[in-house]
Each structure stands twice: as C-alpha cells, then as structure tokens.
Amino acid sequence: MRRARLSRCGKPNPWRPISLTRNLAKRAESEDNGLVGAREERLAGNEALFREVNERVAEVATHFIEVETHSEPVDFTCECGRGDCASPMTMTIVEYEAIRAEPTYFGVVPGHEQPEIESVIGRHPTYLVVEKRDEDAEEVARETDPRA
C-alpha cells in the first residue's frame, strides 16, 4: 500500500493525490517534452488546489444566492499555477459552471495564462477561460477534476 504524500507539517496532503504525484514523477520521456519536472508538478498541484477551492466557493454561493437567478457576481480565486497567486476573478455561478463543464478548462485572471501549455478560449472583463492543450497538462487536469 502506498502512503499519501506528506505536507510540510508532516500531515497527509489531500491536494496531491498519490496517483497524480506518482504518475508525474515516473512519467516516461515523451518525444518532445522530456520528463515532467518539479515545476510542472507544482503548477498542476496549484491549479488543482484552486479549482477545489472554487468548487467550495460555488457550493456556498449557491446556498446564499437566489436559485432562480444565479446572476449575482461571486469572487472566485484565479486557477493559474502560480503558488503565490490568490487574485480574485468575479463571475456568476452560471459562468463558473460553464468553465467547470469541461475538466481541461480553467479560469485565470488576465496575464496569468501560460501559452506554453494552454490556449485562451474565452475573454471576459475580469477573467480568461483557458484550455489545457499540452498532453501532460490535459491528463493532469482530468486526473485532478473534483467532479470526475
């Protein structure tokens, strides 16, 4: 039986699934990308963490917003891979649900997109919708999708 990856305080880190960490660490070298490194693993973990945070924000907001409208703006957290980013993105629950309908879509604040692994597919005043196009990034996005 494999042990969960521990956080800095020595407790299991629920945001870093064992299979994701193991897959990234042992991934065979691909034709054009080389080994997935620590940077990519960190980025994927950060994106998964903020996507999970936003899932909880959406749950709470749904309980407090009129069910019929869902048009009230809610502050979500940027889902970019930057570890120090906690920038707010304002959108409605309907807009958030449109992003979450596809596991390879993420919401990021303008300027936080990573052109080497994702494409901007939607532009809004307070956020961008990006789609992972890199094969490894797509796989990580699907593995860490809290709705899967």
**Helix H or strand E encompassing 97:** helix 93-100
Beta bridge partners of 106: 130
The answer as to whether 3 is a domain residue is no
Is 117 within a domain?
yes
| 128 or 41, which is more confident | 128
- The answer to whether residue 6 sits within a structural domain is no
Specify which residues 129 forms β-bridges with.
Answer: 107, 122
Checking if the pLDDT of 50 tops 60, the result is: yes
What's the structural domain count of the chain? 1
| Residue 11 covered by a domain | no
Q: Is 12 part of any domain? A: no
- Domain enclosing residue 130, as ranges: 18-143
- Distance between first and last Cα of the chain: 23
Q: At 6, is the pLDDT very low, low, confident or very high (cuts 50, 70, 90)?
A: very low
Q: Is residue 4 part of a domain?
A: no
Q: Looking at the domain assignment, is residue 49 inside a domain?
A: yes
Instruction: Tell me what pLDDT residue 95 has.
Output: 93
- Asked, for residue 119, whether it belongs to a domain, the answer is yes
pLDDT tens digits for range 96-132: 999 999 999 999 999 999 898 889 999 999 999 999 8
User: Residue 121 has what pLDDT?
Assistant: 96
pLDDT of residue 70: 65
**Which residues 6+ apart lie within 8 Å of 129 measured at CB?**
99, 105, 106, 107, 120, 121, 122, 123
